[in-house]
Structure 1
Amino acid sequence: MPTPQDHRRPFFVVLNRRSGSGDADATEQAIRAELDAASYPYRLYCVRHPRELGTLAAQAVAAAEEQGGTVVVAGGDGTINAVVQAVLPSGLPLGVLPQGTFNFFGRCHGLPEGDVGAGVRGLLDAREARVQVGMVNHRVFLVNASLGLYPELLERRELDKRRFGRHRLVALLSGLRALLGDYPDLRLSLCGDGRTQLRRSTTLVVGDNRLQLADIGIAEAEAVERGRLVGIVLPPLARWRMILTAVRGLFGHLGDVDKVDSFAFTELEATLPHRRHIKLAIDGEITRLPLPLRFRVAPQPLRLLVPNRPDSA
């Protein structure tokens, strides 16, 4: 059951000033104004370059452990992921102020978007919810982890965002443009829940976010509410069929496409012949991990602060 938030636990706020398309100064000022007005104890850690994120997240966790506090993160799904990576082993509660482009994690858990002040006020009167976290090897993921075509799409999307701005339309058009390029050809060995299968694929996506899975039309979306993850395997397709598949995904019908395989599981191991490492996209950020990849649910849930509404208790 959710538990009430202790109103005097100090906040240690990790703010990624590079997340989203909003005004970073205004976001910082809104956080300070709300906490100062409430005379609430806090310390702010401002991330001005991506390489600082892990270090500042670790500092915030250490300070929160020492002072019995709560870590808060303001940023997009990738920033939230990095902070959860530091928070989860500590068992500390986490507050989230979504600031990204899609904000699947925040929207899935009913966290306010856009109005930073409302988000901070919500944290001051919040309850705890236990939230499932996915793992691939030693890395956490909250929305999805993927290999193959999807990481390539994300790399192109980031380049286009830097050129044209961090907007959802830019992200969508960039993804469609990337589909006109070359596709990976993965020969996957998938072992999970007592069976092994060999699959040719352009993309393997493992999802842990009910909202995103439902948005693209995956029937197993509700399985993540029952302690499972969801795998999606996209087979090699002709270019026109790949574009049609992507469009159908945008309109919530990916699960209806022939040859797109989706399945719920508890643990899954993925290997590729003659490969030792592979590029992955984890909650929108690109990384490389050693093979085999082992997907599973983290043994401990995340203690997430969520709005304290009577109808959600």
Structure 2
Amino acid sequence: MDSVRTFGSIVIIFNPNSTGDAPTLAEKLRDRLAELLTYTPDLRLQPTSHAGHAVELAREAASKGGHVLVVSVSGDGGYNEVVNGVKQSGNPNAVCAVMAAGNANDHRRATGTKPLEEAIAEGNVRHVDLLRIHTGQGDDAPAVYAHSYIGFGLTPVMAIDIEEGSKGAIKEMVSVIRAFAKFKPFEIRQTDGKRRKLDSLVFANISEMAKYATLSDADDEPSDGKFEVILFPHMPKWRVLLTALRATTQGLGDQPSVSTYEFTTLKSLPYQIDGEVKSVDADTLVKVECAPAALPILG
């Protein structure tokens, strides 16, 4: 716990088309805060209208200065946008929080300590680490952050198939099986110059991912200045399935913890960052590093 804060402004950002009834949850949170808070902040709901809009709304809210709380009522992808918008604002007094809504809520599940409205009313702010990824952007490009994980290989391929299909547990399972069947390994060049063929490469700031998988035995609190590297070398698909089964039942056990990791792509690669899929060009130096205590949060 770093400090107790009150806020001049509380902005609740949500996707009106969320699969998790975000509009209702956002309204209930606003109403509950109006009852619980012993002070009267500027308390606003901000619906998004397009992909990336939460980045703009969060940056605008935090850029006004002062003690601002920006709440994302969303899944991991929506919260990623809010975190990046707040970081782009440059306001050190802006605090983030997430209320679970949507398809995946790994971050909230792994790090939440109490009901969000109670945490906001108490105002006990703490700082957590972020992952920062460099994928060949120019020096003037804004840094790109992840609150939970960045994945290359099998992870984004499955995410693309799920997004293209319909939501729902059975349909998601069908999408995962279809993606797994057509998946091919990828190659990277390590910092020692050697090429390596992989099925999956995940950098994790939390110990859980994809609702059920336990990636490592690391503490849930992402505030140790390091992140875990979960690497699957290329192997027969039956072994990949066994490893995935182990992740969902007993976990993958101890994984290496580092503060930075670099490799070079050989071909264009998709990657998943907190549930959102992006891509990096071929022949690009990728650097993932820990940004220690970079994000003030509540919850």
The residue matched to 1:31 in structure 2 has which SS?
helix
Within-5 A mapping of 1:6-25: 6=6, 8-19=7-18, 21-25=19-23
Count of aligned pairs: 282
Percent of pairs identical after alignment? 22
In terms of fraction of residues, the more helix-rich structure is 1
The equivalent of 2:271 in structure 1 is 280
Change (3 A) 1:82 1:219: closer
Aligned residues of 2:105 and 2:211 also touching (Cα < 8 A): no
Q: TM-score, normalised by structure 2?
A: 0.82
Match of residue 137 from structure 2 = none
In structure 2, do the counterparts of structure 1 residues 150 and 103 end up closer, same or farther at CA, with 3 Å as the change threshold? Answer: same
The residue number in structure 2 matching 1:52 is 53
Q: How far is 1:217 from its partner?
A: 4.7
- Of 197, 201, 211, the residue aligned with 1:200 is 197
Q: Is the 8 A contact 1:14 1:60 kept in 2?
A: no
Change (3 A) 1:175 1:62: same
Q: Which moved more, 1:81-90 or 1:36-45?
A: 36-45
TM-score normalized by the length of structure 1? 0.79
Q: Structure 1 residue 94: deviation in Å? A: 1.5
> What SS does structure 2 have at the residue aligned with 1:132?
strand
Cα drift, residue 139 of structure 1: 1.4
Instruction: Say whether 1:231 aligns with 2:222.
Output: no
Gaps of at least 5 residues in structure 2 are 135-142
1:296 matched to 2:289? The reply is yes
* Matches of 2:58 and 2:22, distance apart in 1: 18
Q: CA deviation at 1:221?
A: 2.4
- SS of alignment partner, residue 174 of structure 1: helix
Partner Cα distance (2:204, 2:144) in 1 = 14
In the alignment, does 2:25 pair up with 1:27?
yes
The aligned amino acid for 1:279 is P
Other-structure match for 1:4:
4
Equivalent positions of 1:1-313 (< 5 A) are: 1-6=1-6, 8-19=7-18, 21-37=19-35, 38=37, 39-63=40-64, 65=65, 67-88=66-87, 89-91=90-92, 92-111=94-113, 118-137=115-134, 138-160=143-165, 163=166, 165=167, 167-168=168-169, 170-183=171-184, 185-191=185-191, 198-212=195-209, 216-219=213-216, 221-222=218-219, 225-255=223-253, 262-273=255-266, 275=267, 277-290=268-281, 291-306=284-299
Structural RMSD (CA) = 2.8
Q: Aligned AA for 2:121?
A: L
- Structure 1: tracts of 5 or more residues without a match: 113-117, 257-261, 307-313
Deviates more, 1:140-149 or 1:243-252: 243-252
What displacement does 1:239 show? 2.6
Asked if the contact 1:96/1:111 (under 8 Å) is kept, the reply is no
Cα distance in 1 for partners of 2:52, 2:203 equals: 26
* 1:155 Cα offset (Å): 0.5
Deviation per CA, 1:163-198, whole angstroms, max 9, x where unpaired?
Answer: 2x3x45544453233212232x3222233xxx6754
Separation (CA, whole Å) in 2 of partners of 1:148 and 1:81: 20
Matched residue of 1:100: which SS?
coil
Distance 1:72 1:219, change over 3 A: closer
C-alpha separation between the residues in 1 aligned to 2:196 and 2:23? 48
User: How far is the alpha carbon of 1:83 from its aligned partner?
Assistant: 0.8
In structure 2, what is the Cα distance between the partners aligned to 1:289 and 1:272? 8
